[in-house]
Chains A and B, each alone.
Chain A
Amino acid sequence: MESFKHLIDTISNPTILFTATFLIFFFIFPINDWFDKWNRRLKLYGLWSKKSMLIVTFIMVAFYIVGLSDPDFRLIMLKPDNVPISGLIYLVYFFTWLSMHQAYENDARIERGEPLDEQYDAPNDKVLVWPDLVYIEFISLILCSAFLLIWSISLPAPIEEPANPTESPNPAKAPWYFLGLQEMLVYFDPWMAGVVLPMLIIVGLMAIPYLDNERSGSGYYSFKNRKLSIGLFMFGWLVLWNMLIIVGTILRGPNWNFFGPFEYWDIHKLEALTNINFSEFVYIKWLNTGLPDNIILREIWGLLVLLGYFLILPPLLAKTALKKLFARLGSFRYSIFIVLILIALTLPMKMYLRWIFNLKYIVSIPEYFFNF
């Protein structure tokens, strides 16, 4: 048991956890034919069968129940604030499974020439607001209220001591839905993580219908025709958002250090965190000189890297790997799409740069509050 806990604690280490996720993710949600080929060869789509759902749910529940025997795990998971996060894990899994299950089902039906599962054969493809919509909304409302009442009775509100400016909680955590952003703060300047990136998330979400105007597979669950869009979205939603929330809730302890789910939150835990900027890499490590006083001169290398990443990489990709996509989207939509994707990818990239090279910022101009 102890070794099992130790194993879980070990693989909960962010380097392992994220690497494993990054590696596996696109085999489960293949974004192109190559991944799809492997997905089929490894029969990974079997994950979306009912049997798999039961097995996965069973494993998750069993893990939870077994985990509760551990006092440290119990302390984290049963904290009234964290109970919804446990719920979130199951719900996100279930609805992901449900939609993927449906999608594969529909894909199969289409292949067999059968009608879709969601096909509605009423005249004009319409459903009445009353009673079909309002009635079920009302019933849901009642059931949700009932559920909330039971919850509030059985799990009293997690009221804590009066706020005290001389005693900030450690760890000081944002509300659960912002924990993803808070996690980003580890890797980005507050300005980026707190303002620019969240704004781009919203912009990006708004841009989706304009970027993806593909009609096929629209209006019902399907996967076959929309591999890239679904794969990319799921990556952003599951890995870059939900997973960060879960990590922030369960695995971040005092001083924002990482703790495995079965690890004691020792306030004294220390991690050697001496991070340096890209300019320091160039001038001090590689060129063995001091940092130039001139800001432009100092940051020129980082700026070049960024310019290369955002200005040279997109056309390069358009000519090579994403030729087809470029052709389909046209240059305008392609540029927006690729910039959004590249920005999203900076998060995992910065994670790795941090873990492997202790890199703090690629461009760091604290004089003008610009760090990237």
Chain B
Amino acid sequence: MIDQQERYYNILKLNRWFAISSIVFMGIWFLVFANDFNRPWKKYQKAFRNIEIESINKDISDIENILKNDPEYLKLNQSLVTAEKNLQNNTDEIDHLNQKIEEIDVKRYAVNQNYQFAKAEYGVAKFDMDQASFGHGEIEKATHNLNKLEELTNGYKLNLEKIEKIQDNYVDEVKVLYAERKSINDQLNSITRKRDLTYRKLSQIDPESMTFANKIANVVRDLPVLDFIDPYYKVKQVVINDLEEDLVFMGMPKVDRCITCHVSIDKKGFEDTPQPFTTHPKLDLMVGPNSNHPMSEYGCTSCHAGRGRGTGFVSAAHSPSSKEQAHEWEEEYDWHRLHHWDNTMLPMQYIEASCYKCHSGTMPVREAPTLSLGLAIVEKGGCFGCHQIDRWEHTPKPGPSLRKIADKTTKEFSYKWINDPREFQHDTWMPHFFNQINTNDKASIKRSNQEIHAIVHYLFENSELYEMEKVTGKGNPENGKMLVNSLGCLGCHQMEEDPNNSDKPSFDAMRRQQGSNLIYLGSKTNYQWIYNWIRNPQSYYPDTKMPDMRLTKQEAGDISAFLISRRNDEFDAKSIPELETDELDKIVISFLGQTKRKDEVDSELASMATDQKLNYAGEKLIRYYGCFSCHDIDGFENTKPIGTPLTFEGSKLITKLDFGFMHDEIDHTKWDWFHLKLDNPRIYDMIPQGDGKYSMKVKRSLEKARMPHFGLNEEELDAIVTVIMGFVKDEIPANKLPARTTRNLIVEEGERLIQTYNCKGCHSIDGDGGAIQPTVAQWLGDIADQTAEEDASLVQSFSPPLLDTEGRKIQPDWLFNFFKEPIMIRPNLQVRMPTYSMISDEEWNKIIKYFQYKDGQLLAYEHTVTVNKNSDSYKAGEMIQDLGACNNCHFYGAQKPKQAALTWAPNLTLTKDRLRQDWLQEWFANPQTVMPGTKMPALYIPTEEPTEDVIANWGRAVANMNGDSTKLYQGIIDYIWGIEGITDVSSIVKAHLKSEGYGFIIEEEDDWGDDW
């Protein structure tokens, strides 16, 4: 019993308390270590280690199997056994020789030592000699010493060499004995190299294949506390110093630890292994060391976003792509959104947003179909009109000009159109402003009705006069239909009444939405207007992108007659509500009241006539709804955009987005907000009541959300959200951006122009574009038969040309003139290259340069070719073209081809001005690689035939070319250069087609050709 003495507390009890608390404390320290040791990512690395071991074992067994059946391997093994046996037979001799070598080596060692000593002394003597010559020391003594030592050193050296030679002889003798075995082993090693390397790899990760010491090290290196030295399981990361994580007050180098769990993201062979071990699906494009975006330079989060430093499922800020995935993750990983990281990972459907960070200049962005579609929609839908977006700052307005609207259509149509555009044309990009979720109550509809009246009134009141050419007579609608189908209108326009037949939205499909869907024009406009518009689009709207098709009066009349013949009766039958002055007054008051007091408003209103009120309200409403953003309207030339600027919308903080009462309806993410906003732009004015019902927030008319409804489908929504998520502030260092070489800049610029003027609506370039082709096929089906429609090469031969090698192919000055004034090239084509008078010379030059740089054709000037008609080359060419029957298809000046018009090919008199000789060489050799699908056959030339046969069959001139294909092709080129005659054969073609038609085997019976 402890003596309590003066102590207040029982010391024994205190000791116990102390003991207990110390033990508890120590226990908690273990907990601390355990907590630190037990990191969530370790289990993935462990699991992957097993997967990798399994995969290597499989590799090994595969290799072993191959070796087992490799006769060479088996034979070598056999030989090895024999060689070993032979060696065994010579054991005595080898032992004897080795003994000799050893004996000599002892001698050599002694001599070598002497030599080394002498050499060192000799070095000293040389120094002494130099010193003596300089005046320090006696020259005589030094000279004597030097000579003596030199002699000594040389003596030892000779001796050493002698001994070494003897030794080498013995060594060589031994080598000879071993030679057989060594050579077999070398051969074997070269065969089994891969296997041995794989075994070595295995021995590094598979404990079972390790040496005993390594086995122990393998355990020890990953023990708690000791695992700071060189653990096997560790956080793996890429650090990218020049890409910075924006931490607001400072930038921190990007550190991506994603590979800690996604261990095999850059390893081929795990494509089908479940996550997190799946190989990146686009290893050639991303992540892979040889791709354009290697992981070591770009990391992971620069594209995927998220928290690169996070090593846990939640802390890495993963984002699920769907509700189901979110649910799965919640179950499996206890996942929840990381609210304290602004830049959470992009869901897979929006991943292409990141491409835009660096590739914002290109259009389309290759390998990013969703992003490209989104960019096209932003452009087509005119998002940039209301929302300032830097990239599109100087882009022309996407909607038609309304300056001369009174001559184009009627007030009644305009009213109905504004009220419900998609009711008239199901795929129009004109969005719905009225009768939306926040304006479909009675009072709002009443107001909307009058608002539309006011807008229409303003537009018509301020419409300028369109001076139209008077049209006499009526066109032939049947012929008009043929023309629309064949001239190339359908490269930019569709004619599709059935919404279900519309193409799935894609960048390519958007090309045929360059112009409007040509349905129901009879309800919309009049014969005269269409006639004038298609004859000269710029007379109506100078900035239009609609080109001039060089239509004759008759053609224009026929097309107008056809287009006007189609009406939407249901739409026509609709009536429009009466003008109600009371409601109109309310509208006027709501605008006047924004800046004026009630008495001022009252007196102003009283002084206005109905016309003035309509005008006043119309002007205000056009400003309010932003009609001018897409349409050219008089008086709104410099009006500022009305929407939120979107240039950096993707970097916007989520707290700046008002989820209103929709916070329980959608996930709390930026993309979900944008998605819902685009899907239903007025939704954030609403209060959900369950069952899909909504009630309206308390708002006055002018306080309501006013973004119009575009009727976008899921793909389109995802595409636009992708674009918006791509509008980020991230600063990318120049070395990470696509190199700004002259070539890249020129190609980029060219692609933009080609996109703007929709060249790829008709032309296919490098496998992209040619949206018109299906309609050409359809037309062929109409004029011929089903087989023609399905014959891909026939369709191609009737489609606008592929421009794959355009830069190498065409002489630039000819191309420029062609752009300015297109002429007939392929005589069978009905599709017409339009005249783009709105494209400036500068832009044409950019397009030509684009083709040249794309094809690596940078020569600016080339020599003119003079043809000597007496040369062998020319004569050889003449013979080849004769035997090759080029004139079956090609025009020779005015001379018509022999075959039917179906196969007609360009006039060869055009060639010398148009094509480049280098390209022709390429073309003759293999037309199918240059222009896949072409009808041009590869030329047959005698390259391998015996000379006598060539002389007999082809003549002396060809034989003189010695079977050299380049020379033979040059011969043809020379010949073509010598062809004289007219270049424009269009009148001949027209006359021929009129009288004989194309010569399809099944002859068409319609009379469409009558007007040619």
Contacts and interface: CB of A to CB of B under 8 A. Distances in A.
Interface of A: 120, 122-123, 127-128, 131-132, 135-136, 138-139, 142-143, 145-146, 149-150, 153, 159-167, 170, 268
A162 B21 contact: no
Given A143-B24, A149-B31, A153-B35, A167 B653 contact: yes
Contacts of B248: 162-165
The secondary structure that dominates the B interface is helix
Given A142-B21, A150-B31, A164-B248, A128 B14 contact: no
A142 B6 CA distance: 25
Q: Pick the 9 closest A-B CB pairs, nearest first.
A: A162-B247, A161-B340, A160-B340, A142-B21, A164-B248, A132-B8, A127-B8, A146-B25, A146-B28
B32 A136 contact: no
Contacts of B11: 131, 135
A132 B340 contact: no
User: For the side of the interface on B, what is the size category?
Assistant: 20 to 34
Interface in B812-856: none
A153 B32 contact: yes
B333 interface: no
21 contacts: A122-B8, A123-B6, A132-B7, A132-B9, A135-B11, A136-B14, A139-B14, A139-B17, A142-B22, A142-B24, A143-B21, A146-B24, A146-B28, A150-B28, A150-B31, A159-B340, A161-B340, A162-B249, A163-B249, A164-B248, A166-B653
Interface in B1-58: 6-9, 11, 14, 17-18, 21-22, 24-25, 28-29, 31-32, 35
A138 B660 CA distance: 55
Given A153-B32, A163-B249, A165-B248, A146 B21 contact: yes
Contacts of B21: 139, 142-143, 146
B694 interface: no
A51 B21 CA distance: 30
Nearest to B5: A128
Given A142-B21, A145-B25, A149-B28, A161 B9 contact: no
Contacts of A153: 31-32, 35
B655 interface: yes
B649 interface: no
Interface of B: 6-9, 11, 14, 17-18, 21-22, 24-25, 28-29, 31-32, 35, 247-249, 340-342, 653, 655-656, 660
Given A161-B340, A165-B248, A128 B25 contact: no
A96 to B, nearest CB: 26
Nearest to A170: B655
A161 B14 contact: no
A142 B25 contact: yes
Nearest to B34: A153
A267 to B, nearest CB: 8
Given A150-B28, A161-B341, 12 more contacts: A120-B8, A122-B8, A123-B6, A128-B6, A131-B7, A132-B7, A136-B9, A139-B18, A145-B25, A153-B35, A162-B247, A164-B653
Nearest to B338: A161
Contacts of A122: 6, 8
A141 to B, nearest CB: 9
A127 B653 CA distance: 62
Nearest to B31: A153
Nearest to A130: B7
Nearest to A127: B8
**Residue of B21, B249, B341 ringed by the most chain A CB atoms within 10 A:** B21
Nearest to A158: B340
Nearest to A150: B28
B9 A135 contact: yes
A76 to B, nearest CB: 15
Nearest to B307: A161
Nearest to A140: B21
Contacts of A146: 21, 24-25, 28
B337 to A, nearest CB: 13
Nearest to A128: B6
B36 to A, nearest CB: 9
Nearest to B18: A139
Contacts of B32: 149, 153
A53 B22 CA distance: 31
Nearest to B247: A162
A167 B248 CA distance: 10
Contacts of B25: 142-143, 145-146
Contacts of B249: 162-163
Contacts of A164: 248, 653
A132 B11 CA distance: 8
